[in-house]
Amino acid sequence: MAELPDSMRLKCFMASEVVRYKPGEAIRWLETGSEKIKKSAMQKAQSVIRREGARSIGRDVREVAGALFGAGSAAMADLAHRQATASQYVLDERSFDVVKPTGTKRVSYDEVKSIRMTGERAIVELRQGAVTIKPFAYLVSGRVRVPVGWTRNNIEVGYELLIEELAARCDLEVELD
């Protein structure tokens, strides 16, 4: 029996493995941040209720508004964290699943017509419709903004790897805009 070339063996191995891409560990910082914002908002609200320090109606209104804004920011960060941790992309032999908190969508690799990158968003064009893959969060340092990567079967990997592996499984090239 003839032996497969190395490139074919790798493709056969890749296609038979079930791979889970979940948002990277940096997402946990959303949870940590929301907890700190909640504590700060609660302290501001309690200080107004206890009437600590020199008080006036204008100051109380500002502090209550600040506490409400902080509570809203904490709720948004908490919601983003929950949504990210409940989301994943599952790649198997013949299809991939897009798992979101609202439900799961299964897409066969044969249905994919093209994969186009627009900035950090990947638009997976299907025979009917499209799937958009975008970062759940970014790391920002000064003017540099980098998308948070993934954990691929519990190993941290870069953001682009999911898109590259999906393109390989669909036997397509990623188009850049």
Query: Where along the chain do its domains lie?
Result: 6-24+88-176, 29-84
Q: Is the pLDDT score of 171 beyond 90?
A: yes
> In the predicted model, what is the mean pLDDT of residues 113-142?
94
Please give the backbone phi and psi of residue 5, each rounded to the nearest 5 degrees, phi first: -65, 155
pTM listed for this prediction: 0.71
Reported as a pLDDT band with limits 50, 70 and 90, residue 16 is: low
10 Å CB burial of residue 128 (0-12, 13-18, 19+) is exposed
Fold of 6-24+88-176: PH-domain like (2.30.29)
Q: Of 32-41, 110-119, 141-150, which range is least confident?
A: 32-41
The residue to which tokens 């504590």 are assigned:
39
Q: Is the pLDDT score of 1 beyond 50?
A: no
Write down the mean pLDDT value for the chain: 83
